[in-house]
Structure 1
């Protein structure tokens, strides 16, 4: 399978335009191979993990966490340099789907909400929202049904119509307009005068985490047991006021400490996340269950690998299970 076709599928399932401004989702290392038959999926781009993926024969490796957030030098020994050496020598491509995957509506980052069967789900933090644009221009000749269908099949196009007076009206995503406009100009053999305006709706929002309601309220101990059965961990920590009953639940994978206040304002009885810090835990006015960064995002990538396997007809996909860097030690007293 051509690598450019594979990258297009990566970008469709984890749109790079949705990533946070501070992030580095996308191609981390451009490989030299053009045809790929095996794609590896994992959470972390560590030297050991990349060695496993490349030994299997991966021509493309997609990770969740980026290899770097800011450009790094290659002048000193480091795990970063070890990864670069491994990947470049193999000719493989390294790609990261970080916040581009975290924010994809109904994507695998929201698996916990699915598993808890949360209802009336809403985003906990909106990263950004966009509304379509309306574009109009005139054509003396009616556009053919075939041409209208070609325009309508563009990614990001919502509707195509033409009035009796010759006015053609399109509704499309603003981010897709540049490519759509080029196709229209090519098919018409000229550059029409386009009139555009921003619509007020429907608004398409992307963001982090969710808040929703359980099908039935549950006593805290029953909810804690349910949650414990969903995560791949021996224990989790709890901070903040413990509720007697749990009905409204908020969650965010990875590092969600900054969203504790949002969870409280949303009326959540409990907020589930990873990497809870000490001082926010002391000040938390909602119960916070820190189930670990790894447990939430490892499952997300496993589900993402399944999704990729269904989308990549011409390549084999394999998920490489990672290891939680945190281990529990029981103190004997």
Structure 2
């Protein structure tokens, strides 16, 4: 399968335009290979994880965490330079789906809410909010079903229609419009005169974490037992006031300690996240369960690998488990 087609699927399932301004989602290392039939998925771009992926023969490796957030020179020994040497020598491509995946509505970053059966879900932190635009143009000939399907399949498109008079109307999220306009021009062989009209609703929001209600309230110990059955970790840390019963749950994968106030405002009885620090734990107004940075995101990538496998029929996709840097030490 051609690398350019694989990258297109990566970007469709984890839109780079949705990433945070400080992030570096996208191609980390441009490889020399043009095609591959093996795509590896793993959480962290460590030398050990990438060695496992490349030993398998992956021509493209997708990680969650980027190799770097800010450009850095490969002028010092260490993990960064080790990864560059290994990946460049292999000819493989390295790609990161970081906040571009974290914020995808209904994406694998929200797997815990689905497993808990949360209803009435709402984002804890909105990163971007977009209103759609309506684009209209005149086309003398009927638009073919094939062309209409290609346009409708473009990221962010809500509807495509054509009137008997030849007017074509497309409703699309504003950030995706330039790419769709180019696709329409390619299909028609010329660029039509577009009339754009911003719509006031609905607003499409993307962001981090969510809160929602359990199907039925649970006693706190029963809820923790339920959570323990979903989280692959030896120990869970609990801080803050423990509720007698849990009805509203908030969570954020990775490092979400700065969303405690948002979780409280959402009415959460329990907030599940990772990377809690001492003072926020002392001051938290809501019960916080620290499951570690690794656990929620490792499962997210496991599920994302299955999604990619279904989307890449001409390539084998394999998930390579990562290594939690923290372990419980028992005397």
For normalisation by structure 1, the TM-score amounts to 0.93
When the two chains are superposed, the root-mean-square deviation of aligned CA atoms in Å is 1.9
Q: Aligned partners of 1:322, 1:178: CA distance in 2, in Å?
A: 38
| Aligned position for 1:132 | 132
Structure 1 residues 242 and 181, CA gap change in structure 2 (3 angstroms): same
1:1-333 to structure 2, matched below 5 A, reads 1-138=1-138, 141=140, 143-146=142-145, 149=148, 152-153=151-152, 155=154, 156-163=156-163, 167-186=167-186, 190-331=190-331
Task: Give 1:143 shift.
Answer: 3.7
Unaligned runs of 5+ in 2: none
Contact 1:154–1:180 (8 Å) recurs in 2: no
Q: Aligned partners of 1:186, 1:302: CA distance in 2, in Å?
A: 37
Q: How many residues align?
A: 330
Contact 1:108–1:301 (8 Å) recurs in 2: yes
Q: Which whole-Å deviations, capped at 9, do the CAs of 1:84-112 have from their partners, x for residues lacking one?
A: 00000000000001011111111111111
Q: Which whole-Å deviations, capped at 9, do the CAs of 1:222-246 have from their partners, x for residues lacking one?
A: 1111111111111111111111111
Unaligned runs of 5+ in 1: none
Q: Which whole-Å deviations, capped at 9, do the CAs of 1:24-75 have from their partners, x for residues lacking one?
A: 0011000001111111111110111111111111111111100000011111
Greater gyration radius: 1
Structure 1 residues 58 and 225, CA gap change in structure 2 (3 angstroms): same
Contact 1:151–1:160 (8 Å) recurs in 2: no
Task: Give 1:259 shift.
Answer: 0.5
For normalisation by structure 2, the TM-score amounts to 0.94
Range moving further from structure 2, 80-89 or 316-325:
316-325
Q: Which whole-Å deviations, capped at 9, do the CAs of 1:240-276 have from their partners, x for residues lacking one?
A: 1111111100000000011000000111000000001
Q: Secondary structure at the match of 1:249?
A: strand
Q: Aligned partners of 2:149, 2:265: CA distance in 1, in Å?
A: 47
Structure 1 residues 35 and 162, CA gap change in structure 2 (3 angstroms): closer
Contact 1:152–1:159 (8 Å) recurs in 2: no
Structure 1 residues 252 and 52, CA gap change in structure 2 (3 angstroms): same
Contact 2:209–2:251 (8 Å) recurs in 1: yes
